[in-house]
Amino acid sequence: MNIPSDAWQVIGAIFAAMVAGLVSFCVTVLAKEQKTSEFRQAWIDALRQELSDFAAVAISLTDAIRLILNEPNSKQRIQDYLLKERHSEVKELESLHVRILLRLNPDEHKKFIQLIEAAYKYSAAREAHGSTAGEKLISDFIQASQQVLKKEWRRVKRVNLFSFSQNGFPCFCLLVAAPSQCYTQEGIF
């Protein structure tokens, strides 16, 4: 079969355009996945900061409340103390509480949300205090926070790996396989 030389230029241009389009598509898909991972990582970092701030304020308030417990009329004294002397911390605790809840999926993080609610109620003196109950509650909160953050980090890593295996590897295979599809048993095309 005799192919004119002008046809080779057209064939080459068409093939180059196909490869360029395929590369462009693969780069776009991978860039989107990378951006999604960046947003998820920023979400994890913000959640980590809010969880640590929540724990710090909760510990501070719980320690202060524990000191007042030995005084007479301690329940009323605690309420007065929190409203007058530690109002900004209580307000910060409430703000962090709401922000954390808004970041979490109520279906996926049900147990963790229950723990946050318990720590919030305890730290804001909305429930009775015991000497070691608050320490255990905050300790459980910190451990559960670490588990949630670790789970989300694994999700980011899995999405990145999955993204390449779902999008990058097939794109690579298409780039390698496309030239071979141009050949038949009789020659080119």
- Note down pLDDT in tens along the chain; length 189 residues: 677 778 788 888 888 888 888 888 888 888 888 888 888 888 889 999 999 999 899 888 887 777 777 777 777 777 778 878 888 888 898 999 999 999 988 898 898 899 888 888 877 665 555 556 767 788 888 888 888 888 888 887 776 665 555 555 565 555 555 555 554 444 554
- Calpha distance 179→169 (Å, rounded): 17
- pLDDT value of position 32: 82
- pLDDT value of position 185: 42
R_g of the chain, CA atoms, integer Å: 30
**pTM beyond 0.75, yes or no:** no
